[in-house]
Amino acid sequence: MSRSRVLRNPIAFVLGVVLVCSLVILALTMLRLPDPTTTATTHHSHSDNKLLIGKFGEMMIEMLPEDLAFTVFLPSEKAFKRDLRLDPSDSFVGEKMNDTYAVVSRVLGFSAVPRSIDSETVAFGKEISYDSISGFVLYITKDEDGRLVVNGVRSERVDLRRKGSLVHVMDGVLMDAEFQQSVQYDGEED
């Protein structure tokens, strides 16, 4: 009988609905359920992403505006060291800092696209192309392992979110032939 009384009293009914909705919202907030629109590879905390993209990756991401969608095909720390001789453990002060920023900003121009391109939008066996912000053409495919390949460089990690941008960590540096020639060393330095 008390149930029929509650249904007849509109104030008690509204209060009950509000109470149930509040409990559901509280439970969902406490559980912090992941966003269903993102893929499984994007569930990294800010500090995890910082570790994955490294010091030079952070520099590159900081150069991008937060209010626009970008996709960055970011070289891994290993690729920065191997291909550009930039070591994150080096101290960068004065002229060396300026040189480092110049190289990192140039690499950003070759590897950033002013749109969001997640790995799911690239079909296996199909090639898509986009112009980077410097006008360098990026040819993007997906290999048999499901990894993105951009101008012959394979991805290590895909679909990381960082400051409004989508980041794919690559096992190499995307650059044009002229820039590549300018950063090649004759083997005298170690």
For residue 109 the two structure tokens come to: 């121009």
Q: Helix axis angle, 46-62 relative to 77-84, nearest 10°? A: 40
Closest by CA position to 106, among listed 190, 183, 54, 184: 183
Instruction: Give the model confidence (pLDDT) of 160-183 as tens digits.
Output: 988 888 999 999 999 998 888 887
Instruction: Give the model confidence (pLDDT) of 61-115 as tens digits.
Output: 889 888 889 999 999 999 988 888 887 766 555 566 677 888 899 999 999 999 9
Residue type, 79: A
Q: How far is it, in rounded angstroms, from Cα 54 to Cα 6?
A: 59
Tell me the pTM. Answer: 0.67
Sketch the domain layout of the chain as residue ranges: 2-31, 44-183
CATH of domain 44-183: 2.30.180.10
Give residues with Cβ within 8 angstroms of 67, minimum separation 6: 164
